[in-house]
Structure 1
């Protein structure tokens, strides 16, 4: 076959003297086993996984890293585009382990997304990561920290990424704007018990999630779990502004009472919370209450 005919039929071949140089890039066939493994581990589409493996000659680690980098970049791009949308829905998440508890708020645009499993997994992850970054204190008293949105976003997750990165990745995957408006951590002394509750109550493994959340720091007997749960429900429902003391003056109108000890106990309205605490030998040291979207509503009205 003449050199002219060779060049017409095989343009990727160059003639250099009497030698033939093949210049086309070698394309490796995708390993189907690696493709299935990459798809399962990352959750990305088959076409994207196939592209990643082809680009990196079936090197699984490099293909996975490329996919994650692409997803993160696209997530930040999506997050930037959607950043102006209001996020008044979402969930509260609570994680209690040992002497430390964390409570976080993760917001989204719609209640539909708040019921999404991926969004709920994000809430659980944020709660765990905010718990993990606490610093145990030698102080025997109660330590309460409230984190701003900027501080929450800067928290480093277990894989080294910030929660801001994790949020952007979730926005890119779910396609709706989200935010991390606040979080809190409570570390208790050895003689104090931390109790958490969310309403409506749902559980993602050890993480409590719901539209409302409360953490109580109490000194109490070990066998009154149900009463402590009822107190959590009361704080969520009645939203007291302070614990108060029996000697503090009561409000003229019981419906406007803001001190916890003077409020009628939701589970038994023949008693006040103060009477229940006395009967059950419970001392409430402190509490935290979050309602999803509360902060957004305050910001918009101010």
Structure 2
């Protein structure tokens, strides 16, 4: 039996893009035969998946699941929106979301059981079947007395382009779903002022200070600097906090109330929220048709 060396594993990985352990297993199974090992990987769908791993996956779906006082939302990306409409892909997202109910974080979710295999392996198998790169990209969870879920642009039960979880204390009488819909639409940065990133607050204060001083310098009737520092800037920061936080935002269902006021009138307290939108933060490479044709002709 041929000994499998590190250099052989390296060569196979560079040829196929397969993972180290998969490459080593392929060589072991084929007695070190490089061509046979490549075929073995292709048969398992591993080489095919790896070849597509460099392609941008910015479409896809989020899936939500709630059980008891815990809710989860997961994002699985695909290359095209067409795949997001595929029944098998939708089933995969739904199954992974259910598995996430028992996972602590993304890494543990990747190893969670989905139909007798790990979630990570289930995604790899789907890549081989569908022929597009896919990524189990994100997972978030939320706990509370009551957790309500909502998906926007729904593609099926618990599946959509935006997934929201809202945690409440108190008895929900329907306000939870309305608040979740608000989160989907308004995309607040944090629950309240205490939850806002302090660096974001500091940056905004610096911007508003510079703006106020510049406006004051250009004014025909400049105000004393104490007025700017003690009145104008605090007022602008208060407005910024209100517009950036869920509890401070005007409630989309009734703009005369803040979300906090609406929740209080309904007899509940909002204790947390999660919002995931498909493809957030993924840089999409866009190329027009003419540029694509030009590239093809250049390589001809």
Q: The TM-score by the shorter chain falls in which range?
A: 0.5 to 0.7
Partner residue of 2:267 out of 275, 281, 293: 281
Give the gaps of 5 or more residues in structure 2.
1-39, 197-233, 285-300
Tell me how far 1:106 sits from its aligned partner.
0.4
Cα contact 2:99–2:109 (8 A) shared by 1: no
Change (3 A) 1:256 1:270: closer
Cα contact 2:68–2:146 (8 A) shared by 1: no
Tell me how far 1:231 sits from its aligned partner.
0.4
Cα contact 1:216–1:232 (8 A) shared by 2: yes
Tell me how far 1:102 sits from its aligned partner.
1.8
1:271 corresponds in structure 2 to 257
Change (3 A) 1:74 1:214: same
Tell me how far 1:221 sits from its aligned partner.
2.3
Residues in 2 aligned to 1:174 and 1:203: alpha-carbon distance in whole angstroms: 19
Name the SS of the counterpart of 1:289 in structure 2.
strand
1:164 corresponds in structure 2 to 120
Larger proportion of helix: 2
Tell me how far 1:236 sits from its aligned partner.
1.1
Matched, 1:116 2:66: no
Matched, 1:220 2:170: yes
Moved more, 281-290 or 269-278: 269-278
Partner residue of 2:276 out of 267, 290, 301: 290
Cα contact 2:110–2:120 (8 A) shared by 1: yes
Matched, 1:78 2:78: no
Name the SS of the counterpart of 2:45 in structure 1.
helix
TM-score (norm 1): 0.62
Partner residue of 2:137 out of 158, 173, 181: 181
TM-score (norm 2): 0.62
**Aligned-pair RMSD on alpha carbons?**
2.7
2:181 corresponds in structure 1 to 233
Residues in 1 aligned to 2:41 and 2:100: alpha-carbon distance in whole angstroms: 24
Residues in 2 aligned to 1:261 and 1:77: alpha-carbon distance in whole angstroms: 49
Tell me how far 1:297 sits from its aligned partner.
4.1
Residues in 2 aligned to 1:268 and 1:198: alpha-carbon distance in whole angstroms: 21
Change (3 A) 1:255 1:172: same
Cα contact 2:73–2:97 (8 A) shared by 1: yes
Name the SS of the counterpart of 1:195 in structure 2.
strand
Residues in 2 aligned to 1:200 and 1:255: alpha-carbon distance in whole angstroms: 28
Tell me how far 1:213 sits from its aligned partner.
0.7
The count of corresponding residues between Structure 1 and Structure 2 is: 206
Cα contact 1:197–1:214 (8 A) shared by 2: yes
Name the SS of the counterpart of 1:182 in structure 2.
strand
Correspondence 1:238-257 to 2 at 5 A: 238-244=186-192, 251=237, 253=239, 257=243
Matched, 1:153 2:102: no
Name the SS of the counterpart of 1:165 in structure 2.
helix
2:98 corresponds in structure 1 to 128
- Following TM superposition, where does structure 1 have runs of at least 4 consecutive aligned residues deviating by more than 6 angstroms? none
Cα contact 2:42–2:48 (8 A) shared by 1: no
Residues in 2 aligned to 1:112 and 1:255: alpha-carbon distance in whole angstroms: 39
Residues in 2 aligned to 1:167 and 1:281: alpha-carbon distance in whole angstroms: 42
Tell me how far 1:281 sits from its aligned partner.
1.6
Name the SS of the counterpart of 1:262 in structure 2.
coil
Residues in 2 aligned to 1:261 and 1:186: alpha-carbon distance in whole angstroms: 17
